[in-house]
Amino acid sequence: MKRGVAHLPLHGGQAPAWLFQRMHRLAGSIVQLIVTDYGSTEALARLADPFWFQAFGCVLGFDWHSSGLTTVTCGAVKEAYKRLGGDLGIHVAGGKGGVSRKTPQEIITVGDKTGLDADRLVYASKMSAKVDSAAVQDGYELYHHNFFFDDQGRWCVVQQGMCDENGYARRYHWLETSLPPEPQPARPPASTPTRIESFVREPHNAIAAQSLTGEQLMLNMVAREAEPNRLASVEVTRMHPDEFLHEAEDMPTLFMPAHHPVLPSDVNPKWLAKVLRPVYENPPQDFEGLLAMKGIGAKTIRSLALIAEVIHGKPASRRDPATFSFAHGGKDGFPFPVDRDLYDQNIAVLEDAVRRAKLAPGEKDNALRRLDRYVR
């Protein structure tokens, strides 16, 4: 994938009802046709591609440069799923704000109907959110999470965070097939795990974002080069809390932001030792296990990374992981107002193509050619 930067300024407001009711019909037809022609794997791969996703939102008529493109486009696909169910070709869970917290139950509901391993999918949903909120600390707070999956259990994630300070959003894309296998170390230390799980080593398919938020604030615990620090962070949790407190109090400057601006706020060593006590009593096998533990958040991960750097000499990574066409106009009239008649005509042709594809595949191609002639 080519790398680049997508600027996604935070916009207020919402898609008008007259537009959204068209968006979810068009989105449903497009997804259905992709699944029919190329399979559900291709549909998931396209949603996980930030450039295709951006173009998809533009085709649906949303603002090309707005953070709202993410939430509205995902919302349109989910609304299509509510209307079409399994006929859409993929399942959709999650959403914006409080709706995102319903993702696990929505996955379980589908699993009960289809026989899918819901526990594995719920874990993938939770871990992708945990990585982008705690393991990747880039100044963007997650507020949107959508989980897409098919009947074979393949999945992708589209989630987004916001940064109030710069007024921009950052979109994170995950795709199951993009998770690389972790190479086995030649001679791992006896006290550390033999490998790091792929959720915590360069797991993203891509991240669409604006410029760096600042190297001093960045902490990237899923960077390839952060592996020694991940191992050392797990090693720190195996220290007795009293020993940890003694080490931390002997390094007071570690917790002084004036000297260490990588810390967003002071960290209370006594509070941290209290948090780590249950971790010490039930030690994780690896960094993914640590990250998955209840109560382990961004502040704890950042503190462990810095303490591991001081004690074990394993530096943390501060590399930003971010990477980075209109058909119907945009809701704000840019580059031109939405042509409702054209939009309705295209929906009708595509929905007709879906119906014909189920009966006679050749008729679908004829319908798409008619659509192309009409648009031209």
Give the confidence band of 354 by pLDDT, cuts at 50, 70, 90: confident
Position 46: which residue type?
R
How far is 189 from 319, CA to CA, in rounded Å? 26
Which value, to the nearest 10 degrees, does the dihedral of the CA atoms of residues 252, 257, 260, 266 take?
60
What pLDDT does 63 receive? Answer: 62
Q: Domain extents for the chain?
A: 17-223, 230-312, 340-375
pTM of the predicted model, to two decimals? 0.75
Give the confidence band of 5 by pLDDT, cuts at 50, 70, 90: very low
Percent of the chain clearing pLDDT 70 (strictly above): 70
Please report which residue ranges of the chain form alpha helices under DSSP H.
17-38, 40-47, 50-59, 68-84, 103-114, 118-130, 227-237, 241-249, 269-281, 287-292, 298-312, 340-359, 361-375
Q: Concatenate the DSSP letters of all residues of 126-181 into one string.
A: HHHHHIIIIIEESS-EEEEEEEEE-TTS-EEEEEEEEETTTTEEEEEEEEGGG-PP
Contact (CB, 8 A) for 121 and 149: yes
pLDDT tens per residue, range 182-220: 444 443 343 333 333 478 888 888 787 754 444 446 889
pLDDT tens per residue, range 205-261: 878 775 444 444 688 999 989 999 999 999 988 888 888 777 766 654 444 343 333
Q: What is the mean pLDDT of residues 162-170?
A: 83
Most confident of 69-78, 319-328, 343-352: 69-78
What pLDDT does 334 receive? Answer: 47
Give the confidence band of 44 by pLDDT, cuts at 50, 70, 90: very high
Give the confidence band of 60 by pLDDT, cuts at 50, 70, 90: confident
How far is 273 from 276, CA to CA, in rounded Å? 5
For residue 47, CA distances in Å to 178, 233, 265, 280 come to: 13, 34, 36, 40
